[in-house]
Structure 1
Amino acid sequence: MNGSTVTAPVGTYTVIASFNGCESSTSTEITIAVIPDNTPPVFDQSAPADIEVSCNNIPPMDILTATDNCGPVSVVPDEEIINGDCQGNYLIVRTWTVTDGVNPPVELTQLITVVDNQGPQLNSTVDAVLNVTCDEIPQPIEPSFIDNCSGVLSVTFNETQSDVINNQYSITRTWVAKDNCGNDSEIIEQVINVEVSAETIGTENREICNAAEFDTINLSLVLPNGTPSGGTWINVNNAGGLNGVIFSAFNNGNKVPVGDYTFSYVFDDGTDCPSQIDVIVNVNDDCLPLDCETVFVHNAFTPNGDGVNEHFQIDNINQECHLPNRVEIYNRWGVLVYEADNYDNNTKKFVGISEGRVTVDKNAELPTGTYFYIIQYNDGNGKVISESKYLYLTR
């Protein structure tokens, strides 16, 4: 048979062996049974467990072995990749197959789920803080990013600037990179502290004295002639009395505390650096508005020419905080004999003389008696007070 191996079919075989001696011979009969191979190979190890890993943590393929009852066998490994929704997400299917050539193949399988859950990483240097003058502000850089799985898709840049205060402001620049699987990098931030090299070109010291509670100062009117428009006002001390460019120490009924308040006007004068004008407003005790005092009605008067108690006196009704006001006086028959807006006990006052109606002669002295008054005024907080009582006139 030339040394070749032949597999006999399943069955029983009889073999007769003859032996010849010098002067004799003998023979023997041997029965050989060829039985079927019904036992497949068996793996020596279990299948590796299914796992989930990132793209840079994929383990190498395990080496598995198997044993067969009829002789040595070889294990054939294989690997298939099933793509996911992006470059960094996919599935690895690993199989190990063994066969003895007779029985069906035996197979083990491992599933490796690969996920991209990490954003890009900075691959260059970005100075976190820079201190410069306004004519040394650098152009934005373009940082370099790398990604471990799916590659860098885009880099978003953003820049904001703070207000100029005390000739300084800051620029904040940020960069965020995104990979092809939608993961963002950490926010890379750079703060540039800028010193305005242009000197303050003017300072206005202004004492405002509120003779009336609603006196105001228009800050734009105290800027030097020729100052460019379109600038920005900065309320350096956060004074409560500023509304746009109008400052009031009364501030809608609330007094601004005594002190110096700086309002900075920042504008572009055509150079590389902004210019700034500081308007300093001084509020002192003498300039603050008076408290709103209580209105008090004197309900009797004697207009007899003796110079004492000659008119209907209403204390404090003429204060700015009580304006506008209105006074009406009726006789006992309900006829209006006097009326006035913004009664002030001086230029507008009731002295017992009728202002005239169809039933009452104008400029006629009204007789002694009881009258009825109605007054309306502001309480100093925006609420209208209405008061009506009796008034006694005696001559």
Structure 2
Amino acid sequence: PDFNGEDTFEYSVCDDDGLCDTAEVTVTVTDENDPPVADDDSAETPEDTPVVIDVLDGDTDLDGTIDPTSVTITEEPTNGTVTVDSVTGEVTYTPDPDFNGEDTFEYSVCDDDGLCDTAEVTVTVTDENDPPVADDDSVETPEDTPVVIDVLDGDTDLDGTIDPTSVTITEEPTNGTVTVDPVTGDVTYTPDPDFNGEDTFEYSVCDDDGLCDTAEVTVTVDPIVDAEDDSYVLNDIEPLEIDIFDNDDDIPNSGTLVITEEPLQGEISINDNGTPNDPSDDIVTYIPNDDYVGDDMFEYTICDDEGNCDTAIVEILGQGVLTDCVISFPGQGNNEYSGYGFTPNNDTYNDLFEIKFIENCYPEYEIQIFNRYGNVVFDYKHNGNPSSTPKWWDGRSSGRMTLDNNEIVPAGTYFYIIHLNKGDKKPVSGYIHLTK
């Protein structure tokens, strides 16, 4: 096969009388082009790794030259892609992501006379461990409220198992803190106080072979009502309009404003400005009682339409002075203090013997309280300042009685005398009933 050139052989021939002769035959075999022989190939590559294959290595052409520029793919692979170098004829096989196993394709190659042949290439893609794929996460939480995030939800590992104990924080959040559950891998995000907006952090997770990936978690912190305590000065016994939201944050345009604790020495008026469902423009007015000068307080609660609420206290600092000086003294005939009694038992109710507003009208007054034996149990002189809070009797003896300073005097009726120390005002006296 494939011989060309001149060849000879001899033969002999005889007649019927047995006489013979020989002769030589010369055969000229003319040259004809033989096609190339494309040899099947095999290659090996790790998973997810392209491989360059010299498909012409082993291909032959006995009487010509193989043309590398003629290499073409005649049958594509099933689990990958191939490209041909147009100069060298080398073929690059790229397996599909995460594929492993055996794949084949066919190519054709021609010689310089245009005769061609085909061959099959077998590629073995070896199994390699794939890293896990950590998927980005996003969650939402109200302001000042921690949220637990299952960061592994959506994370995958095609050929292994994700290890939840491997979760670590690779980039901390800017406006909060995070902690990782060492067993479940859950991450708890706690926003900074009063922060609202968007915050991010990154975490890493690994599979059981130690390959890892990272992802970003976006936390949206929704604003909620943030009410702060207030303090206002009341200089006159006049209504006081109060901007209770002046120091509050994130006041909703839809929600409710409720007075949850009324003042003891006045009342509250709320003007909703014609928008009953919008508390942000409400006007709050404190109206003191006509006969009271002093401190007071009330409490309000503001809620948005999603039920997020906050409560604050408004303190009223009364610094006015009563001008008519109408004082009701205990035990003085038929007035509201007739039969006055007090119970110094530390229950925060009626624990002190006091006479309201006396320091405003008579800032230099002096009071003495006696027991039935005439012994002084309480003696106090005010300092002359109408804005200064007086000292009132708490039921303990500060006189000459033989009692421990922390011991309440016996229950009974006590006599007081008050020197007003103003002009020709006469002393005032009366009785007090102390009960336990």
With the length of structure 2 as denominator, give the TM-score of the two structures: 0.25
With the length of structure 1 as denominator, give the TM-score of the two structures: 0.27
